[in-house]
Amino acid sequence: MTERKSAPPDPSRRRLIRGALALGGAAAIPATARAAGDPAITELQPWMQYLGDGVDARPYGMPSEHEVDVVRRDVPWLTADPVSSVNFTPLHKLDGIITPNGLCFERHHGGVAEVDPAVHRLMINGLVDKPLVFTMEDIKRFPRVNRLYFLECAANSGMEWRGAQLNGCQFTHGMVHCVMYTGVPLRFLLEEAGLKPGAAWIMPEGADASAMTRSIPMEKALDDCLVAFAMNGEALRPEQGYPLRVVVPGWEGNMWVKWLRRIEVGDQPWHHREETSKYTDLMASGKARRFTWEMDIKSVITNPSPQAPITHGKGHTVLTGLAWSGRGTVDRVDVSLDGGRNWQSARIDGPSLPMALHRFYYEFDWDGAPLLLQSRAIDSAGHVQPTKKALRTARGENSIYHNNGIQTWHVLKTGEVENVEVS
Amino acid sequence: MTERKSAPPDPSRRRLIRGALALGGAAAIPATARAAGDPAITELQPWMQYLGDGVDARPYGMPSEHEVDVVRRDVPWLTADPVSSVNFTPLHKLDGIITPNGLCFERHHGGVAEVDPAVHRLMINGLVDKPLVFTMEDIKRFPRVNRLYFLECAANSGMEWRGAQLNGCQFTHGMVHCVMYTGVPLRFLLEEAGLKPGAAWIMPEGADASAMTRSIPMEKALDDCLVAFAMNGEALRPEQGYPLRVVVPGWEGNMWVKWLRRIEVGDQPWHHREETSKYTDLMASGKARRFTWEMDIKSVITNPSPQAPITHGKGHTVLTGLAWSGRGTVDRVDVSLDGGRNWQSARIDGPSLPMALHRFYYEFDWDGAPLLLQSRAIDSAGHVQPTKKALRTARGENSIYHNNGIQTWHVLKTGEVENVEVS
């Protein structure tokens, strides 16, 4: 192959692509570039003048020191002790649909179990023909699959039930992450043990100090659950269940038992603490809904947001956010700049995979006036994200879990952003 | 929702799914599980008896201490100095198609530039209507996209041109990684500057001490190149060009200029060092091919492999590997256990995206006899991965770059694996 002929751009093709990208808004290309002569480019920077670290310096790499504020954060007053608590994914600092392993939010009930994989075992017992105990090596001899799934804590946005509480999407919506899991379909392990007649439920149990247990219906267990040992290509992180966890696609995170040591098969649910006292939905009537496993259609604008104000002033602005549904793909995201009076469709970009995060963008010209930003997602099952008001009308204000209401951010003239509610 | 009725598994559906998963091989489910009574499960492990770390312990998480051998590795004798050298992705320890950011191989020419994003600038100059200088904030005001792409160094497998040299897929094939990039289509920045008549090439330049430059034809620049600032959701890592790099989908990694500070637009290529003395293909005739940008269809079995021997003895065995093509998707991967005499189709699992890694599996019953493992990939453009012999016949043995020949692993009776060639 030799040099190519001059290939001047084809303006018609470029218009087409730009048009597709600008689908959701009026955005043309921002004209904010500075004239040449900026000392930051005319002067040699230090890193251009000296050799940097070699390839032997970072066997396992870490982010730049300029990104030290991109971290999970906990809120000490939320819980009595950090060993049974939560921290939050910094959604406002991320892009795309993959969460880096080091930034996936954590929720523990007895702290992080530091399991030695060499002595770790998975037992399957109960209503099975043949109780079994697997080593990690045994499990890796079964056929495995790779799937990108979001995991959301049922309590994500739980503080918002009683009005705007926390000032930043990291805290209001940061109990969600999305990674590619590698694991064995749970069905294969259950088939290996052999299900006895009447086997209708499973109870995974964790090897941590809380011995976490949840009841999962057999229909789901045989459908798409995984026993996963890797996330984003590498072994699970300790705080995400190393060396083994259950993946329950689209269902509340508490069911994705970490440090998985046992799966009991039974003919009815176990009614343990985490599905009776916790992870149930107390209605206005005083009765509680339980076994509300699916995570409903939801979205949030991550930028601008309280932790990510507009700092560039008027003009071209990129609005972006995340949407997800436990019932399939996200088909559409609408964005409002005026608190829900007018809506425009956002552009969903990147792979659209079932029960995975979806990234949306809406580019617009900001005139410097205050805004009330909202996003509203619609999933492939036809569900539309509700307003907080509609949620409260249906369910009262006793709930902690399953708040998928539309979030409002108030952008001030200064570009600062605050968490508000519109009536 | 209340308790569900017993839902015994539907054997017909399970057979269907198992059949689909076992597509490539004879593999049923391995029967290697141990009987209950294993002391590793009957005895309480330490991590079940004590509370672990809380959610305030790991603002940015790291892998388990049991995974300390899952790291990038360099080979000191390959180069004179680690600042202009390479290290290798531990492919034999990974699964799926995403490479964690901390494990993406590195190739530097002047070490890692530690750039301060606040003072970093990108200039566009040359054959443009309006030379421009962008801050990082300026760039983030353009519409952005998210794409999963592999990046392969043209020298990947280069040592194999003259016969089997390195014992492990980390070293023979580990100069490849695959992450999801977030960035602005380069086309938008070039349009903002305005291309003058005759503008046919661009030359991105790095802000590191080597001031890396390469010539890229305008056709490619306007087609799918990105100016990327994030990988796998978070900011680029320092060793991958933080805060800004060019993404040149499917083309050799050296063109993906890191620490991007300038893009010059011209009417012809620059013929700089990295496209004349280096990154050209010296043929048997003594003439060199240049501008061989596309990375051709390629695959490698990552397990079993020299660093990942079979340790479980005879019986059910999971063979897995990676395939990729700079010309589209991978449509098929065939696997041979006998050095290329007989071939079976492997199962490709996970998203199949153009110019991204593809993960394949082949499950088989190992009888304990020696094997000669090979994989052969076919891409959507119809290209078939060649044998090393065919490559040498076409191009001689002077080459360093663009070796996409079929790799052979020799599995011994002990389960150990070595790098060999078959004639």
Is residue B177 one of the residues assigned to a domain?
Answer: yes
Q: How many Cα atoms sit within 13 Å of A299 on the Cβ side?
A: 34
Average pLDDT over residues B106-117: 97
Q: State the average pLDDT over residues B74-99.
A: 95
Last residue of a domain, one of B289, B323, B343: B289
Tell whether B113 and B222 lie within a shared domain.
Answer: yes
Chain A positions touching B72 (Cβ under 8 A) are: 55, 58-61
User: What are A205's two structure tokens?
Assistant: 């149990």
- When scoring B6, B55, B272 by the number of chain A Cβ atoms within 10 A, the one with the most, hence best to mutate, is B55
Distance from CA of B162 to the nearest CA of A (A): 24
Residues of chain A found within 8 Å of residue B119, distances taken between Cβ atoms? 40, 45
Work out how many domains chain A is built from and give that number.
2
Residue B21, pLDDT above cutoff 90: no
When CB atoms are compared, the residue of A62, A82, A361 closest to B143 is: A361
Give the nearest partner residue to B111 out of A53, A86, A268, using CB atoms.
A53
Nearest CA in chain B to A83: B54
Are residues A232 and B291, on separate chains, in Cβ contact within 8 Å?
A: no
In this predicted model, what pLDDT tens digit does every residue of B139-152 receive, in sequence order?
Answer: 999 999 999 999 99
- Cα–Cα dist B172/A144, whole Å: 25
| Domain assignment of residue B194, yes or no | yes
Which domain-ending residue is among B289, B322, B349?
A: B289
Same domain, residue pair A362 and A228: no
3-state secondary structure of B77: helix
Question: What confidence score (pLDDT) does residue A1 get?
Answer: 31
A355, part of any domain: yes
Whether A357 maps to a domain, the answer reads yes
Confirm whether A244 is domain-assigned.
yes
B54 DSSP assignment:
-
From first to last of the 423 residues of chain A, give the pLDDT tens digit: 333 333 333 333 333 333 344 433 334 444 445 555 666 667 789 999 999 999 999 999 999 999 999 999 999 998 999 999 999 999 999 999 999 999 999 999 999 999 999 999 999 999 999 999 999 999 999 999 999 999 999 999 999 998 878 899 999 999 999 999 999 999 999 999 999 999 999 999 999 999 999 999 999 999 999 999 999 999 999 999 999 999 999 999 999 999 999 999 999 999 999 999 999 999 999 999 999 999 999 999 999 999 999 999 999 999 999 999 999 999 999 999 999 999 999 999 999 999 999 999 999 999 999 999 999 999 999 999 999 999 999 999 899 999 999 999 999 999 999 999 997
Average pLDDT of chain B is: 91
B234 has pLDDT over 50: yes
**Are residues A271 and A324 both part of a single domain?**
no
Q: Do A278 and A310 have their domain in common? A: no
DSSP character for B294? B
Of the residues A247, A262, A289, the one at which a domain ends: A289
Q: Which residues of A touch B5 (CB under 8 A)?
A: 200
Do B273 and B237 fall into the same domain?
Answer: yes
Q: What is the pTM of this model?
A: 0.93
Chain A: nearest CA to B393, how far in angstroms?
19
To test the contact with chain B by mutation, choose from A15, A75, A93, A95 the residue with the greatest count of B C-beta atoms within 10 A, namely A95
B385 in a domain, yes or no? Answer: yes
Contact across the interface for B50 and A121, Cβ inside 8 Å: no
Residues B98, B184 within the same domain: yes
- With H, G, I as helix, E, B as strand and everything else as coil, classify residue A169: helix
Identify whether B59 is part of a domain.
no
Would you state the pLDDT for residue A163? Answer: 83
Domain carrying residue A146 = 92-289
Residues B382, B306 share a domain: yes
Q: Name the residue facing B85 among A55, A209, A218 (closest C-beta).
A: A55
Percent of chain B with pLDDT over 70: 90
Q: A102 and B60 in contact by Cβ < 8 A?
A: yes
Q: What pLDDT, on the 0 to 100 scale, is given for residue B162?
A: 86
Assess whether pLDDT exceeds 70 at residue B247. Answer: yes
**Length of chain A counted residue by residue:** 423
Are A204 and A314 in the same domain? no
- How far is it, in rounded angstroms, from Cα B187 to Cα B422? 46
Nearest CA in chain A to B7: A200
The enclosing domain of A343 has a CATH number of 2.60.40.650
Tell whether A269 and A325 lie within a shared domain.
no
The enclosing H or E element of A358 equals strand A358-366
- Do A285 and A302 lie in one domain? The reply is no
Tell whether the torsion through CA atoms of B33, B35, B36 and B42 is positive or negative: negative
What is the pLDDT, as a whole number, of residue B1? Answer: 31
Among A3, A43, A47, the residue to mutate for chain B (most B Cβ within 10 A) = A47
**In this complex, do B56 and A74 lie within 8 Å of one another by their Cβ atoms?**
yes
Pairing state of beta strands A122-126 and A260-266? parallel
> Does residue A274 sit in the same domain as residue A354?
no
Instruction: Spell out the residues 6+ positions from residue B418 whose beta carbon is closer than 8 angstroms to its own.
Output: B167, B306, B409, B410, B412
What is the CATH classification number for the domain harbouring B157?
3.90.420.10
pLDDT at residue B22 above 50? Answer: no
Out of A67, A86, A211, the one facing B235 most closely (by C-beta) is A67
Please indicate, yes or no, whether residues B371 and B279 belong to a single structural domain of this protein.
Answer: no
DSSP string for A36-93: TT-HHHHSPPGGGTS--B-TTS-SS----GGGTT-S-EE-GGGSS-GGG-BEE--GGG
Q: How far is CA A405 from the centre of its chain?
A: 16
Residue A66 inside a domain? The answer is no
Are A412 and A420 contacting, i.e. CB atoms less than 8 angstroms apart?
no
Q: Which residues in chain B touch residue A148, judged by CB atoms under 8 angstroms apart?
A: 351
Give residue B410's identity as a one-letter amino acid code: H
